Amino acid sequence: MKYALVTGGSRGIGKAICIQLAKQGYNILINYASNKSAAEEVKAAVEQEGQAAELLPFNVANREETNQVLGEWKKTNVEKKIEVLVNNAGIKKDNLMMWMKDEEWDDVVDVSLGGFYNVTKSVLQDMVKAKNGRIINVVSLSGLKGLPGQTNYSAAKAAVIGATKALAQEVARRNITVNAVAPGFIKTEMTESIDEKEYKSIIPMRRFGTAEEVAKVVGFLASDASSYITGETISINGGLY
Ligand code: NAP
């Protein structure tokens, strides 16, 4: 009855992570914001791998809703354990700082950083009790180097990298690891407005990455193979720093 909760599991990188973790023997809780039909497709793909999948729609930025949905799930599924949490849900609302609207700042920080806090807080206590858990945060190259036009996104992702390092030290004794993956340019709907032909020349590998290439590293961090790694951020960026 071991479960992995993947936020933003309906599309892109989150979808690939759901399928990868199902291949590794996890049942999957697929969180998403609104795209039910996409989430249903992921559920079918997980079931195809022989694992159970449940849809868990909620807005990770909304603390009350997150607590209500996860609290209700825990109450009605006492025999099931969330062993792996992947904080993947994220949005971007790019703008130069000078022109940035307050809601562009707030929305991006609320989903990436607020979402990390809301969901992790709700799941952590049970992991501590079980003395077992894996938390994997999907951050970004933006959070490591800062990218112009993305002060909101860079700040939110850098904050999650800091939180990853801090929380890793808090819970290491409880056999819980906390790590992050930092993708560069990955082909998903989030990057469909970015022209790969134009940008690939700056990437040493001369191509965008795939969601599956990110998911395999997340799978590694969820597996026993990474049992002595914690507080780490692994870049997946084709050599672009
Ligand atoms: P994507 O294709 O736009 O998918 C975003 C996913 O997040 C969807 O499943 C969406 O659900 C969900 N989501 C958005 N807001 C949410 C909210 N408030 N509550 C719950 N779920 C929410 O994005 P992606 O490219 O796969 O990105 C996934 C993660 O990787 C993000 O954290 C992103 O910042 C990070 N990342 C991406 C890249 C890249 O190049 N693509 C690079 C670095 C980092 P719905 O389907 O319901 O909308």
What structural domains does the chain harbor?
Answer: 2-236 (3.40.50.720)
Report whether residue 186 contacts ligand 1, using a CB cutoff of 6 Å.
Answer: yes
pLDDT one-digit tens code per residue, 140-161: 999 999 999 999 999 999 999 9
Mutation to probe ligand 1, out of 91, 202, 237 (largest number of atoms < 8 A from CB): 91
Atom of ligand 1 nearest to the CA of 62: 18
Reading phi first (left if > 0) and then psi (alpha if -120 to 50, else beta), residue 175 is in left
Query: Is 153 a known active-site residue?
Result: yes
Amino acid at 163: A
The active-site residue out of 26, 117, 153, 228 is 153
Amino acid at 79: E
pLDDT one-digit tens code per residue, 11-26: 999 999 999 999 999 9
Cβ count near 229 (within 10 Å): 14
Percent of the chain with pLDDT over 90: 99
User: How far is 23 from 19, CA to CA, in rounded Å?
Assistant: 6
Gap from CA of 98 to ligand 1 centroid (Å): 25
User: Nearest CA to 134 among 15, 17, 8?
Assistant: 17
Mutation to probe ligand 1, out of 36, 137, 189, 190 (largest number of atoms < 8 A from CB): 190
pLDDT one-digit tens code per residue, 168-227: 999 999 999 999 999 999 999 999 999 999 999 999 999 999 999 999 999 999 999 999
How far CA 104 is from CA of 7, 96, 156, 161, 170, in Å, comes to: 21, 11, 12, 21, 32
